[in-house]
Amino acid sequence: MSDRIHSLSGYMYEYQKSVQDPESFWSRIADSFHWRKKWDKVVDWNFETPDVKWFVNGKLNITENILDRHLYTRGDQAAIIWEPNDPEEEHITLTYKELHAKVCQFANAIKAKGVGKGDRVIIYMPMVPEAAIAMLACARIGAIHSIVFAGFSANALSDRINDCKAKMVITADGNFRGNKQIPVKEVVDEALKNCDSVESTIVLKRTGQDIQMTSGLDIWWHDAIEGVSTENKAEEMDSEDMLFILYTSGSTGQPKGVVHTCGGYMIYTAYSFQNVFQYNQGDVYWCTADVGWITGHSYIVYGPLLAGATSIMFEGVPTFPDAGRFWAICDKHQVNQFYTAPTAIRALQAYGTEPIEPYKLDSLKVLGSVGEPINEEAWHWYHDHVGKGKCPIVDTWWQTETGGIMVSPLAGITPTKPAYATLPLPGIQLVILDNEGNELKGNSVEGNLCIKFPWPSMLRTTYGDHDRCKQTYFSTFPNHYFTGDGVKRDEDGYYRILGRVDDVINVSGHRMGTAEVENAINEHPKVIESAVVGYPHDIKGQGIYAFVICDMDGRTEEGLTKEIKETVNKIIGPIARPDKIQIVPGLPKTRSGKIMRRILRKIASGDGDNLGDISTLFNPEVVEAIKEGASH
């Protein structure tokens, strides 16, 4: 594709054009894709309702742009290289031709099971190529996929299935993770006890572990595709038809289904992928995310494959069989662009440089970071030891809701600065607002990060509840999309993301609503009330600290905290399990009964001697007791 920026002046020029005339800018970029019918209007928008449409009345199928378009130009090139958990197991390469055939075949198979355009399909799978095949097969027939990260509990899974009334679940028997074998189908069975909408389940055989297959409901993947044609004519989709739903946490207890649509998401993920990573034909690109998160959607599957790239998919974990696994894979497949999360970098940093030493890492050209602010120490370690001082780091800021990378250096083009996401991509109009909604202009300012003009891959709604979308993102600051993040624009005009300003915490790059964790804790019968806050954690970025009022009822503290952790495991999954639970006699509250999280945050981060004036609290005496019992 021709829309590649090659220089800093080129970036400045494109950025100016994208702001002065967004319609010509985006229509030029969209022109290089395959449309069954071109759009009538580039963008129609209103941030009040909100109502945003891109490439209005355009007709397309995203998989034609991923598969059919590349068939003759790069049919024999690797589209996906899959690296298994166990290094002894063979890796798998799927060329564009093979991926095309597999997607078409599976598309036919799910269609035969009664799934059609507009139906919702839940994908609950390990990191195997079939997860990407399932996504693309849904997109092929116009079904809306919603991937649920395979680490979520049965309860969290059934909530999501019921919210979108999914007709089908695509899953696997089990999941290999390091030296563990995790049940997957068993979790689905448990979840489906509470789901009426699901008519069938397709089960991939991965681990071969014993599972229950229910006749009339469950069918093996290999049986479903047996004898099925590998040709399929893609469904014609409107630009604004839903492509997928992805559930994400916010400041309320219930996760919301972020909705992305076909046309704009396609254009923006491909454009941002090529420009941020400066991908060149023939390069091997690897993003270590899980497809259960937005990063896996946009930058393992859609963006790279739209660009005709070779994308690595890794089943395992960074520390199995040892802490050199990432680097072994980089050397083995001669990875050129490597994209991971600060939490992974910090976890590996803790092992020192010894696990890196056996590897050359000389194929690497670009390093990426995503998911949370990267601290300077981790940035330098990544730069010096992984990149050997010669690879630019792209610190990419974006969200599930933004669909694609919003603020980031363009690799090798934008001068970087540790811990800075640097500058917005073309088309992204950032503003910084103070708490009253006044725009803070000029440099050296700090405030709430907002966006004042639509971009093609932005969320369109929250599934089944448009008002929630409006309240969450478009009401805090009228006529602006509010990101929930604080930001600083420094003296050079560079952006540094400061973290969430709402009740959302970021644990190992996973977003978690404090209310969501509190709700799970409160499910324990002996819990009376709880308050959850984040605290600085060396590896995870933020850890989860829960202050809990309990009816001890003869239990020991140790026994009870263990039970509470187990409860959270069951309600949400291991990623939400509190790192610390402190049983407290009360929670600091205002006279109107609001929990003063600011105080709890300070105590949790070891700054309890610096609480300021607490005399206006309804119960100031409780603070001393909490401080005494705090653990650091």
Q: Please, are residues 618 and 591 in contact by the beta-carbon 8 Å criterion?
A: yes
Could you tell me the strand order of the sheet in which 430-433 lies?
A: 430-433, 445-451, 481-489, 495-500
- Minimum gap (Å) between residue 449 Cβ and ligand 7RM: 8
Burial of 486-524, coded b for 16+ CB within 10 Å and e otherwise, reads bbbbeeeebbbbebbbbbbbbbbbbbbbbbbbbbbbbeb
Q: Please, are residues 307 and 270 in contact by the beta-carbon 8 Å criterion?
A: yes
Continuous H helices in 309-401: 325-332, 342-349, 376-381
Q: Could you identify the residue written with the tokens 């799978």?
A: 125
Residue type, 501: V
Residues within window 290-329 making contact with ligand 7RM, judged by CB under 6 A: 293-295
Binding mask 470-509 for ligand 7RM (x = CB under 6 A): -------------xxx-----------x-xx-----x--x
Q: Choose the binding region for ligand 7RM from 25-33, 287-295, 472-480, 519-527 (rule: CB under 6 A).
A: 287-295
Q: How far apart are the first and last CA of the chain?
A: 52
Residues within window 418-457 making contact with ligand 7RM, judged by CB under 6 A: 421
- Minimum gap (Å) between residue 365 Cβ and ligand 7RM: 20
39 or 293: whose CB is closer to ligand 7RM?
293
- Minimum gap (Å) between residue 375 Cβ and ligand 7RM: 10
456 or 509: whose CB is closer to ligand 7RM?
509
340 binds ligand 7RM (CB under 6 A): no
User: What tokens appear for 250 in the block?
Assistant: 């916010």
- Minimum gap (Å) between residue 249 Cβ and ligand 7RM: 8
Whole-angstrom Cα distance, residue 409 to residue 392?
Answer: 9
- Minimum gap (Å) between residue 253 Cβ and ligand 7RM: 17
Cis peptide before 321 (omega within 30 of 0): yes
Question: Binding residues for ligand 7RM, how many (CB under 6 A)?
Answer: 25
- How many helices and strands, by DSSP H and E, does the chain display? 20, 30
370 binds ligand 7RM (CB under 6 A): yes
372 binds ligand 7RM (CB under 6 A): yes
Out of 221, 397, 455, 474, the residue judged to bind ligand 7RM by CB under 6 A: 397
* Residue 31 CB partners (closer than 8 Å, separation 6+): none
Whole-angstrom Cα distance, residue 546 to residue 577?
Answer: 10
Q: Please, are residues 259 and 242 in contact by the beta-carbon 8 Å criterion?
A: yes
- Minimum gap (Å) between residue 289 Cβ and ligand 7RM: 8
- Minimum gap (Å) between residue 487 Cβ and ligand 7RM: 9
Could you say which DSSP state residue 66 is in? I
Q: Choose the binding region for ligand 7RM from 71-79, 148-156, 207-215, 367-375 (rule: CB under 6 A).
A: 367-375
Q: Choose the binding region for ligand 7RM from 132-140, 164-172, 308-316, 392-400 (rule: CB under 6 A).
A: 392-400
Binding mask 240-279 for ligand 7RM (x = CB under 6 A): --------x-------------------------------
105 or 295: whose CB is closer to ligand 7RM?
295
458 binds ligand 7RM (CB under 6 A): no
Residue type, 429: Q
Residues in the site for ligand 7RM, rule: CB under 6 A?
A: 248, 293-295, 369-373, 395-400, 421, 483-485, 497, 499-500, 506, 509, 511
